[in-house]
Amino acid sequence: MTTTFPSPTALRSTTTPDVTVTPHVTVVTERCAGCQECVVRCPTGALAMDVATWTVVADDATCVGCRQCLRTCPFSAIDVSGPLLAGERTPVAALHSPEPLLGSLAETRLGFTSFDAALSEATRCLQCPDPTCVRGCPVHNDIPGFIAAIRDHDLAGAHEVLRRTTLLPDVCSRVCDQALQCEGACTWSLAGGTPIAIGALERFVTEEAPVPPLMRTSTRGRGLSVAVVGSGPAGIAAAWDLAAAGAEVTVLERDPKPGGLLGWGIPDFTLPAAVAERPWHQLVEAGVKLRCGVEVTPAEVELLLGEHDAVVLAMGAGSAIRLPVAGGDLGSVIDATEFLTSAETALREHTPLPCLEAVSPRDGRPARVLVVGGGNTAMDVARSARRFGAEATCVEWMNERFAPVRPDELAEAREEGVDVRFSTTLVRLEGSEGRVQSACLQRTRQSSASKRPEVVAGSEETVGVDLVVMAMGYRKYADFASSLPPRIVTRVAEGLPSRAWQASGILAVDAPDFARHQPVGKLALGRESALSTSAIPATERVWVAGDALVGPSTVVESMAQGRRAAKALLSRLGNGRSGLDATPGSVLIAVESRGGHTRAKAEEIAAELRRHGSKVTVAALTEVGVPEVAAADLLVVGTWVEGLVVAAVRPAKAARHFVKSLPQLGDTPVAAFCTYGVNPRGAVWELADSLVQRGGRLVGSAAFGPRGGDSVTRFVDSLVGSAATASPVSR
């Protein structure tokens, strides 16, 4: 093959190699700025710099067509044609239909069955220098790292890599929707190909070598007592990291056994009991106190704070959503929680399912179960019903292309005899003597995922049913949702993404085919915003994580937030600290500076804080978001004063808008300062009061003028010495 290189002055658009054999890179040198973004991210070394012209040159002989360069070039100076040299994805064995299905607990989705198969798949990984798969993973597993360990036949090393970020590799490898996370963000997926089977490789590691137990990794939590409310993925993660740091942890769970969703919400044929229960066996063995059958009400959180140094609220979103239709109050209409909880027990104990026994027809025909919903929970309900011999039908009003269900779970459900009807909605239920007998269904149409389905007039159909299960999802418990400060936490990133996210290339592809045409980059960035918020306490000494924070979320997201909350708790209270009763460790000074005077004053304050031992970051307001605020032990906001003394004097408009955009600060220590030319009047108090209104705990304020005003030294002394107690806003 002849390799061509771009000339300094012309496009490389002449003779192109046979694209059916090898990829071909075209560099538009007139656009190339020599920034080297593509060079540092090319996984095969196919790109280099021409030092004479300081533009990129490409070597087709080493290019695999991954198109990482195309996605990361900020000037659109690169194009890649030809095939993806990704190799075929190694098949994973699957058991879609256990025989016999009746009463079966057999796991239906298997992983790699041999080391050779795992190695074959591991070799497809490009070991990208800036791996987008890591950004797509909610806990940021070092995916290239653990895959490299598999290549080296080092399963212990693979575990060591994984345990840096995840506590549930055996669970997540089974229940994660990898297509919308790590695999959907794999460079092969972003290029339009088939990604590495990351989930199957992670599962292989956990099946071939046991997940290591909890180990003490620091003493940062020594002397701390923490109550964790909820024992699901977020609670597991928070308890694990707190215990690993030496804290005394007590977990309170309302159900009779721990695990939350892992215990009752995912059937054994998807998540075996031994895997779901593993983390709690290890936590209890490590000394975590587990109290099941204890329901904590919002009013009792204050009591817990009297007994413990901090509380982590990690209860799941357990309030089932029910479709408000006529007949929905009939006795044989239940929710997915009730069904799955009883089904799990009955399958394990090989006993009849009470809710089915109560409605079983006397003529011996199978009970007819209608499941309202078409997501993964609905599939779990329907597949469980099939294991008790019932007929199962799922109705989902969304089009199949847009429904939130994993394709493999949908295929398995249909293989097991579940009738799944998309573009169909429940209109009403009819029955007598308190029991449902029939359901009226109606067709819907939906043109895109962003549009609600429309009911098709005249398409009604009546079907006979004996039991209806509402499996439309869950919402946060209303009592806790109303008792916490107003925190609208969504998984949507606002503003311009950071340079690191843009440069990685994960945002360059709107909707990869493998990701079911979902925007994996935007989804990943949105998860980051919620993850950062979990580090900010909701109120003094109270952190919230998982479903309690963002509503129904995935196992891996909840785990990530539980870990982040625990880390923030240790940072704020660990090693005997109580709030900021000592020099603040990490200080963020966010500044609005028009002429440079406010920035200069911020640098003076920073220098003085550094002399006290603080780590200080000074940044413009436009550079500060939730992650930066969440990482700070102390937030200082500085601005200049705008307006006329004879009229109105206020903090600069940009500073006022910045404070309004902040999340609830949950007793985070805050301070305010301003610079002024003539008279600040009440500007600094207005700024300070706005920070308090966002939930901050004011520890200092100052106004600096051209001929005196407050002293920087005195202001910093107030930040260091008065941080343990709240300073009221006064005028």
Cβ pair 422, 318 in contact under 8 A: no
Q: Sign of dihedral through CA atoms 299, 302, 304, 306?
A: negative
Cβ pair 427, 403 in contact under 8 A: no
Strands (DSSP E) contained in 402-538 are: 419-422, 424-432, 435-445, 454-455, 461-464, 467-470, 474-475
Cβ pair 103, 387 in contact under 8 A: yes
The total of other beta-carbon atoms located within 10 Å of residue 677's CB is 13
Rounded Cα distance, 671 and 616, in Å: 14
At 122 the three-state DSSP class reads: helix
pLDDT at 48: 96
Task: Give tens-digit pLDDT for 541-572.
Answer: 999 999 888 888 899 999 999 999 999 999 88
Cβ pair 619, 665 in contact under 8 A: no
At 509 the three-state DSSP class reads: coil
pLDDT at 646: 54
Q: Which domains does the chain have, with CATH numbers?
A: 1-85 (3.30.70.20), 333-475 (3.50.50.60), 586-721 (3.40.50.360)
Q: Spell 257-281 as b/e; 16+ CB within 10 A means b.
A: ebbbbbbbbbbbbbbbeebbebbbe
The residues, any chain, with a CB within 8 Å of residue 9's CB and separated by 6 or more, are 29, 30
Phi, psi at 232, each rounded to 5°? -80, -165
Angle (CA) 190 195 201, round 5°:
145
Residue 88 DSSP code: P
pLDDT at 5: 32
Rounded Cα distance, 640 and 107, in Å: 63
Cβ pair 512, 182 in contact under 8 A: no
The total of other beta-carbon atoms located within 10 Å of residue 557's CB is 26
State the Rg of the chain over Cα.
29
Rounded Cα distance, 437 and 516, in Å: 37
Strand 697-705 to 225-229 pairing = unpaired
Residue 621 DSSP code: G
At 476 the three-state DSSP class reads: coil
The residues, any chain, with a CB within 8 Å of residue 334's CB and separated by 6 or more, are 355, 467, 468, 469, 470
pLDDT at 17: 42
pLDDT at 1: 33
Low-confidence residues of the chain, pLDDT below 70? 1-20, 94-96, 318, 476-488, 576-583, 644-647, 708-709, 721-731
pLDDT at 329: 87
Nearest in space to 669 (alpha carbons), one of 576, 551, 552, 589 = 589
The total of other beta-carbon atoms located within 10 Å of residue 495's CB is 10
Tokens of 50: 């021409």
Rounded Cα distance, 161 and 362, in Å: 57
Rounded Cα distance, 190 and 193, in Å: 7
Strand partners for 643: 649
Angle (CA) 546 179 267, round 5°:
60
Cβ pair 355, 338 in contact under 8 A: yes
Rounded Cα distance, 493 and 512, in Å: 20
